[in-house]
Structure 1
Amino acid sequence: MKIEVSVQPSEHQLQVISDGISAFNAPYLPNDGEFESGLRFAIMAQNEQGEYVGGLQASVVWSYCVLELLWLSEETRGQGVGSQLIEHLAAFAKEKQLTQIRTETLDFQAKPFYEKQGFKVYGEINDSPKGHKTYFLVKALA
Structure 2
Amino acid sequence: MTIETTITPKKEEAEILSKGIIAFNNAEIPNLEPIEKEIKFFTFVRDKDKNIVGGIRASCYWNTLHIELLWLAKTCRGTGIGGKLLKEAEDFAKKNNCEKAFVETTSWQAKPFYEKNNYQHIATINDRPKGHASHYLTKNL
- SS of match in other structure, 1:22: helix
User: Which amino acid is the alignment partner of residue 65 of structure 1?
Assistant: L
- SS of match in other structure, 2:27: coil
Q: Distance in 2 between matches of 1:97 and 1:86?
A: 17
List gaps (5 residues or longer) in structure 1. Answer: none
Q: Distance in 1 between matches of 2:80 and 2:13?
A: 41
Equivalence for 2:70? 70
User: Which amino acid is the alignment partner of residue 24 of structure 1?
Assistant: F
Q: What are the within-5 Å matches in structure 2 for residues 48-67 of structure 1?
A: 48-67=48-67
Q: How many residues align?
A: 140
- SS of match in other structure, 1:27: helix
Equivalence for 1:6? 7
**For each residue in 1:36-82, what CA deviation from the matched residue of structure 2 results, as whole angstroms up to 9, or x when unmatched?**
54432111110110100000111233221210100000001111111
Q: CA deviation at 1:25?
A: 0.6
- Normalising by structure 1, we get a TM-score of 0.86
Q: CA RMSD in A?
A: 2.1
Q: What are the within-5 Å matches in structure 2 for residues 1-142 of structure 1?
A: 1=2, 3-7=4-8, 10=11, 12-33=12-33, 37-141=37-141
| Percent pairwise identity | 35
Query: Which structure shows the higher helix fraction?
Result: 2
Q: Distance in 1 between matches of 2:115 and 2:10?
A: 36
- SS of match in other structure, 2:45: strand
- Normalising by structure 2, we get a TM-score of 0.86
Kept after mapping to 2: 8 A contact 1:36/1:60: no
Q: Distance in 2 between matches of 1:55 and 1:9?
A: 33
Change (3 A) 1:26 1:140: same
Change (3 A) 1:93 1:71: same
Q: CA deviation at 1:4?
A: 4.5
Kept after mapping to 2: 8 A contact 1:58/1:65: yes
Kept after mapping to 1: 8 A contact 2:107/2:134: yes
- SS of match in other structure, 1:26: helix
